[in-house]
Amino acid sequence: MTMQKVIYLIIPTAVLFFNGLVIYGTAGHTDEKSSCIQCHSQQNKTLSESIHIKSQIKCVDCHGGDSTKSDKVQAKSPQTGYRGKIKRTEIPKMCSSCHSDVEKMNPYGFPTDQYTQYLTSRHGKALVSGKEDVAVCTDCHKHHDVKSVKDPGSPVFPANVPSLCGSCHSDFQKMNKHDLSSEAESKYRQSIHADLLLKKGDLSAPTCSTCHGNHGAKPPGFKQIEEVCGKCHTKQKEFFEISPHFKPTSQGEFKGCVTCHGNHRIPQANLQIFENTCNRCHEEDDKASKTRNSIINLAMNNNNYFNVISEQLENAKRKGFPVDEEQVLLEEAKTYLMQFAPLQHTLDILRLYELSEQAKSTLNKISKSVREKEESDNARKIIIIPIAAFLVVMSLGSFIKYKQISRNRIMHK
């Protein structure tokens, strides 16, 4: 091997080796020249897991100081703007120095009004008033190991939000000082929303922040509840606004959605809601209660008839009848019945009756079609009986004739 070839091999190898040393030595830190890691190795380790490291956020960006100085006195001198451990009351303002900067946030598509929203929240107002035992940025996003909201390991990942909020709001002593209930998280975990989020993995299901907001967190007022719920339940909101309940809600005399459905412990919507809640406001024999009874009966009849026709269609399928067209009609009827639940919020019995009739008419078509197929099949069976009997008789006659011919042949021999 010539010397030139040896050099060609050594140089690339050396470059890769020293690059590896640099990468290894600076992994987990935004600045390989920083003197901070000499003392703060643990913080450096957690910082390596932070989304901030990808944006080259350095220790000094939050804590001030001069990380190029190895001497502590020089690194932390007043001239360097050293802040050290950030006071709890100053954390939101410090975070906003970047997160309220349009130029800095624009490449990431982040909103820049988070700090402004925070100041309007219960948390922010309490902090400004001098109370320090309220949530600030680091309580939700952590300190050095800040993760993306899309990271399942982040406290603000949707599936983790109930536990995150519950870390404070399930603390009886902490909530008692602010005259708040400490049962919100435990009630939420018994709701249909928690079932969708935590058991079925539906990350679009409502969490605490969906209803209360995140940076601008506060409980919605009575007049706002309809708007909050209506963000997801759009048809229910539309129908509620033409119901008898809407006017007293807009006037602040009725709590809207939460009156019937609850707030944190929201159950799967069913007919029991009518039975359990209407009598809180209405007498048993008044007009509203009669409307309730009519709606319950209509809904039960719809469901029962749908189940009967579904079973009829299933039996026809098991018998081998072609039922593709009837299956399409069944889905059409199901669509009508799915519209029944949101339409209930109008409390308009005539509209509900019309919708039920549409579903019933479609189900009747299915029933009629299946009966016709069964009757046609029975008619074919009836026709086959005399034909089969004729063939049996003919076969028997032929057999007898054959025997006679065979016997005559034997006698002639």
Residue percentage of the chain with pLDDT more than 90: 62
C-alpha 262/C-alpha 256 separation (Å) is 10
**How far is the CA of 343 from the CAs of 128, 238, 290, 357, in angstroms?**
45, 9, 17, 14
Within 10 angstroms of residue 366's Cβ, the number of other Cβ atoms is 23
Phi/psi for 207 (5° steps) reads -115, -175
Of residues 228 and 407, more confidence is placed in 228
Residues 6+ apart with CB under 8 A from 404: none
Res. 19 pLDDT band, cuts 50 70 90: very low
What's the pLDDT at 26?
Answer: 42
C-alpha 302/C-alpha 49 separation (Å) is 55
**How far is the CA of 54 from the CAs of 57, 59, 108, 143, 301, in angstroms?**
8, 13, 12, 15, 60
Arithmetic mean of pLDDT, 125-141: 94
For residue 311, pLDDT beyond 60: yes
Res. 10 pLDDT band, cuts 50 70 90: low
Domain boundaries, the chain: 1-85, 86-219, 234-365
Res. 190 pLDDT band, cuts 50 70 90: very high
Arithmetic mean of pLDDT, 340-351: 96
What's the pLDDT at 241?
Answer: 95
What's the pLDDT at 396?
Answer: 79
Q: Please report, in angstroms and rounded to a whole number, the separation of the first and last CA atoms in the chain.
A: 113
**How far is the CA of 168 from the CAs of 44, 139, 176, 190, 281, in angstroms?**
28, 10, 11, 19, 35
Q: Which of 136-150, 210-224, 357-371, 378-392 has the lowest mean pLDDT?
A: 378-392
Q: Which of 20-24, 72-76, 179-183 has the lowest mean pLDDT?
A: 20-24
Res. 24 pLDDT band, cuts 50 70 90: very low
Res. 16 pLDDT band, cuts 50 70 90: very low
Of residues 384 and 338, more confidence is placed in 338
Res. 174 pLDDT band, cuts 50 70 90: very high
Residue carrying the six token digits 């919100």: 184
Arithmetic mean of pLDDT, 161-171: 97
C-alpha 151/C-alpha 52 separation (Å) is 13
Q: What is the pLDDT of residues 357-405, one digit of tens each?
A: 999 999 999 999 999 988 886 666 676 777 777 778 778 778 787 777 7
What's the pLDDT at 222?
Answer: 65
Mean per-residue pLDDT over the chain, rounded: 87
Q: What is the pLDDT of residues 56-67, one digit of tens each?
A: 888 899 999 998
What's the pLDDT at 32?
Answer: 56
What's the pLDDT at 3?
Answer: 53
What's the pLDDT at 387?
Answer: 76
Q: What is the pLDDT of residues 265-277, one digit of tens each?
A: 999 999 989 988 9
Arithmetic mean of pLDDT, 341-354: 96
